[in-house]
């Protein structure tokens, strides 16, 4: 169909843009303020089981949190320290652990499978600050701010949910508070300077 009316063309373009923006809105949502966000993960890994019931330390898996800006996700090898032997005591757990084997390049019995290539587990990232914000885990962890202060009771969650808003007020309110009252009885200086948090 040839469209030769400029007004009709303009109308069609607007229609297409409107449809596109409807389709894209969920993806271009401002990062950061996503409290309540809880995507389904490629493997139904439960923090309630691992960090809650089994009491595995958070930093056994997120060990870069006290060393640098990112807490990071554990490598498949960290999971295999246990799951080489722990194959699941019920059908549901076994099915989820089979997925772990698949990403690790192992067969159903946990043995290397020449047809499979090991690949990282494509975890869906939940907490994401906008690119113009600077955040550093280690600066907080080394001063004794607990993971739960910002992430909530992760050890009770079967599926992780973003607990805090991560809006600017969330950061600033605590910085102001610890500067005034100290933290665990020690003086700290958490900056309110724009340039400390913004590039
Ligand atoms: C056995 C390993 C393991 C332990 C122990 C563990 N985690 Fe995790 N954590 C993971 C994995 C794997 C993911 C990615 C899948 C998911 O979101 O559940 C994750 C995701 C997260 C996320 C979401 C990250 C994001 O934004 O996508 C947070 C927050 C988190 N963990 C905090 C904690 C805290 C706090 C503890 C201790 C109470 C803890 N974790 C203990 C393995 C672990
Ligand atoms: C310290 C040992 C240990 C480590 C490390 C560990 N697990 Fe587990 N995991 C277990 C045990 C024990 C169970 C319970 C198995 C059962 O009895 O069915 C389990 C159960 C599971 C299950 C099924 C139950 C559920 O929904 O969580 C999944 C999936 C799983 N683990 C994934 C992982 C992943 C992914 C990692 C690495 C990020 C990991 N595990 C690291 C010990 C561990
Ligand atoms: C002061 C608040 C705060 C504390 C304390 C904190 N986090 Fe985070 N966490 C965040 C923010 C903010 C992000 C998003 C960072 C970004 O987008 O750069 C995040 C992201 C994450 C992620 C996603 C991957 C990554 O590296 O960004 C994981 C996993 C995580 N945190 C785990 C932990 C664990 C485990 C602890 C405790 C050892 C912890 N966090 C303590 C605020 C915090
Ligand atoms: C629960 C309280 C708390 C929250 C919430 C918090 N912070 Fe902090 N922040 C601190 C403390 C304590 C320090 C360390 C101060 C020190 O080293 O004396 C710190 C230090 C920092 C530093 C290093 C400052 C410097 O001078 O180099 C940055 C950057 C930072 N925070 C950014 C953030 C951002 C961004 C957020 C929000 C996503 C946030 N913080 C949320 C308590 C908090
Ligand atoms: C402790 C860390 C921190 C400090 C200090 C800080 N900001 Fe922010 N700021 C943030 C975070 C986190 C966001 C992202 C909020 C979001 O995702 O909605 C943000 C967002 C913003 C935005 C985007 C609009 C908005 O509200 O989301 C502007 C503009 C801004 N900051 C300006 C400033 C200025 C100006 C200062 C100094 C007076 C400052 N910030 C100091 C953490 C900080």
CA 47 to centroid of ligand 1, rounded, Å: 7
- Residue 77 to residue 80: CA distance in whole angstroms: 5
From 129, 166, 193, 198, give the residue whose CB has the most ligand 5 atoms within 8 Å, as the site to mutate. Answer: 198
Probe ligand 4: pick from 35, 70, 131, 139, max atoms within 8 Å of CB?
Answer: 139
Cβ 77 under 6 angstroms from ligand 2: no
Residue 186: phi, psi to the nearest 5? Answer: -110, 150
Per-residue model confidence as pLDDT tens digits over 29-55: 455 678 899 999 999 999 999 999 999
Q: What is the pLDDT of residues 98-109, one digit of tens each?
A: 999 999 999 999
pLDDT tens readout for residues 117-152: 999 999 999 999 999 999 999 999 999 999 999 999
Q: Is 195 in the pocket of ligand 5 (CB under 6 A)?
A: no
Q: What pLDDT is stored for residue 74 in this prediction?
A: 96
Residues with CB under 6 A from ligand 1: 41, 45, 47, 50-51, 56, 58, 60-62, 73-74, 123, 125-127, 147, 151, 154-155, 160
Contact predicate 182/192, CB 8 Å:
no
pTM over 0.85: yes
Residues 6+ apart with CB under 8 A from 54: none
Buried b vs exposed e over 21-39: b needs ≥16 C-beta within 10 Å? eeeeeeeeeeebbbbebbe
Helix (H, G, I), strand (E, B) or coil at 106: strand
Q: CA torsion 29→30→36→38, rounded to 10°?
A: 60
- How much is the pLDDT for 30? 52
pLDDT of residue 33: 73
Q: Whose CA is nearest to atom 19 of ligand 3?
A: 127
pLDDT tens string 53-85: 999 999 999 999 999 999 999 999 999 999 999
What number of other Cβ atoms are within 10 A of residue 147's Cβ? Answer: 19
HEC profile of 118-183: CCCCCCCCCCCCCCCECCCHHHHHCCCCCHHHHHCCHHHCCCCCCCCCCCHHHHHHHHHHHHHHCE
Answer for the pair 116, 106: CB distance below 8 angstroms, yes or no.
yes
Per-residue confidence (pLDDT) for residue 27, from 0 to 100: 46
Q: pLDDT of 1-13, one tens digit each?
A: 455 666 655 545 5
Tell me, in angstroms, the distance from the centre of ligand 1 to residue 16's CA: 40
- Give the Cβ contact number of residue 186 at 10 Å: 9
């Amino acid at each position: 169909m040839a469209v030769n009316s400029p007004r009709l063309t303009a109308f069609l373009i607007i229609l297409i843009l409107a449809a596109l923006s409807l389709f894209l809105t969920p993806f271009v949502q401002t990062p950061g303020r996503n409290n309540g966000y809880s995507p389904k993960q490629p493997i139904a890994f439960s923090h309630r089981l691992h960090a809650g019931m089994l009491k595995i330390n958070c930093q056994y898996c997120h060990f870069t949190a006290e060393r640098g800006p990112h807490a990071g996700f554990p490598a498949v090898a960290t999971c295999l320290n246990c799951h080489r032997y722990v194959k699941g005591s019920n059908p549901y757990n076994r099915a989820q652990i089979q997925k772990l084997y698949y990403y690790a390049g192992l067969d159903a019995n946990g043995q290397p499978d020449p047809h499979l290539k090991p690949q990282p587990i494509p975890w869906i990232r939940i907490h994401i600050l906008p690119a113009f914000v600077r955040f550093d885990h280690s600066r907080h962890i080394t001063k004794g701010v607990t993971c739960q202060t910002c992430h909530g009771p992760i050890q009770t969650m079967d599926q992780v949910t973003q607990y805090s808003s991560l809006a600017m007020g969330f950061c600033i309110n605590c910085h102001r508070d610890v500067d005034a009252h100290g933290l665990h009885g020690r003086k700290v200086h958490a900056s309110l300077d724009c340039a400390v948090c913004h590039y």
